[in-house]
Amino acid sequence: MIKRLPSASSVRTAILLTGVLLLATSCGWSLWDNPMTTVRPRSDFGRWTDEIFMLISWTTLVIFIAVEGGLLYVCWRFRDRPGAPLPRQIHGHTVLEISWTIAFALVLLIIGIPTIKIIFKTQEAPAATDLHVEVAGKQWWWEFKYPQFNITTANELHLPVGQTAAFFLNAPDVIHSFWIPHLGGKRDVVPHRVNRLMMTPEVPGEYPGQCAEYCGMSHANMRFRVIVHPKGEFEQWVRAQQAPPAESNDPLAQQGKSLFAQSACVGCHTIAGVSAGQIGPNLTHFGGRKSLAANLMPNTPANVARWIENPDHMKPGARMPNLGMTGEQSQALAAYLLSLK
C-alpha cells in the first residue's frame, strides 16, 4: 500500500485557511471582553439569552459528535480492502425515516420552547413600580423619555441597577432594532406599533448599544450608550435632569446662546427655557453627555464645532442641515451647548 504524506503546499493552505476562518469569525481572546459581546450577560434578560445560546451550543456539539463519529466509523468499517463487508442499503426503511424525522423535530423543540418562553416573559405587563422608558428609534439616533419623571433625553440611556425597566419601543420613520449586547437580545422598533421589552440590569457600568436592523445610510452610526447606575446614583441623575440646565457666564458661551436662539436650531431642538423644537434630539442637558451624534464620537468642543459645520460629513445622510456657520460661530455654539450640564 502506498502511503502519501500531505505536501508542504497543502499544509500551508490548511494553516492559511484556518487563519482566515478565525479572523472571519472574529475568534480570539478578546471575544470575552469585547464591548459588544453577548456572552458576558449583565441583566436577567442577558442571562436568559446566554443560557439559550449555551443550550443550543451544547446540543449542536452533541449532534456534531454523533454525526461525525458515525461518519468516521462508517469510513473505517467499509474502507476499501480485500474481503471488506458491503454496506447494507437502507432506502425505504420506514422505521429509520420516521425516527430521524422525529429526532430533528425534537431538536427544534429543545431550541424553540425556551426561546418562546423568554420572548413572552420579557414582554409581560409592567408593574407600577417598574421604571418606564419610552424609546423612539429615529434616523439615526435614539430618544429616551421617562414619563414618570418628565425627562426627555437622547442617545444616553440611564438605568438604575436592580430595578426592572419596561421599555416601550416605537419608531416614527422606519424599522430599527434596539440592542444592548450586554443586557440581552434585540427587539425590533417598528412604526405604528409599540413593542415592549422588560429587563432588570444586574451590574452597574457602561454598555454600548447599537441599532441592529438596517435602517438606511447611517444605520451603523445609530449607536447609544447605556449607563447602569449603582444604588442611589440614578435618583441624583433624575434630579439633575429635572433641574433647568446650568449655564455658564463665559462670553463665548453667551454669544453661542444668542446665536442658537436666533438661528434655525430652535426649529428642531428643545432646550428647556430656550426653544421647543421636536425634530432633533433634546439638548437641555447636552453638556452632561459623554458622546455626540448617537455615540459616534466624544463630546468635545472641537467635535461639536466640526459637527455643526458639516453634520453630513460625520454622519452620512444626517437630517441636520449644514447651516453655513463660520468657524467662530460654531465654536461659540459648541461652548454654549457644552455648558448645558
Footprint of ligand CUA on this chain (CB under 6 A)?
A: 137, 140, 176, 211, 213-215, 219, 222
Angle at 260 between CA 258 and CA 262, to 5 degrees: 70
Whether 338 contacts 245, CB under 8 Å: no
Q: CB-wise, 165 or 215, nearer to ligand CUA?
A: 215
Distance of closest approach, residue 137 Cβ to ligand CUA, in angstroms: 5
- Beta strands 151-154 and 184-189 are unpaired
Q: CB-wise, 46 or 209, nearer to ligand CUA?
A: 209
Q: Count of CB atoms within 10 A of residue 29's CB?
A: 7
Whether 208 contacts 168, CB under 8 Å: no
Distance of closest approach, residue 78 Cβ to ligand CUA, in angstroms: 52
- What's the distance, CA 316 to chain centroid? 20
Cβ-proximal residues to 82 (8 Å cutoff; 6+ apart), any chain: none
Q: CB-wise, 71 or 217, nearer to ligand CUA?
A: 217
- Cell numbers standing for residue 297: 464620537
Q: How far is the first Cα of the chain from the last one, in angstroms, to the nearest whole number?
A: 81
Distance of closest approach, residue 143 Cβ to ligand CUA, in angstroms: 12
Q: CB-wise, 175 or 252, nearer to ligand CUA?
A: 175
Q: CB-wise, 45 or 140, nearer to ligand CUA?
A: 140
Tell me if residue 191 falls in helix, strand or coil.
Answer: coil
Q: CB-wise, 154 or 253, nearer to ligand CUA?
A: 154
Distance of closest approach, residue 209 Cβ to ligand CUA, in angstroms: 11
Whether 198 contacts 165, CB under 8 Å: yes
Distance of closest approach, residue 175 Cβ to ligand CUA, in angstroms: 8
Distance of closest approach, residue 89 Cβ to ligand CUA, in angstroms: 52
H-assigned helices in 78-194: 94-121
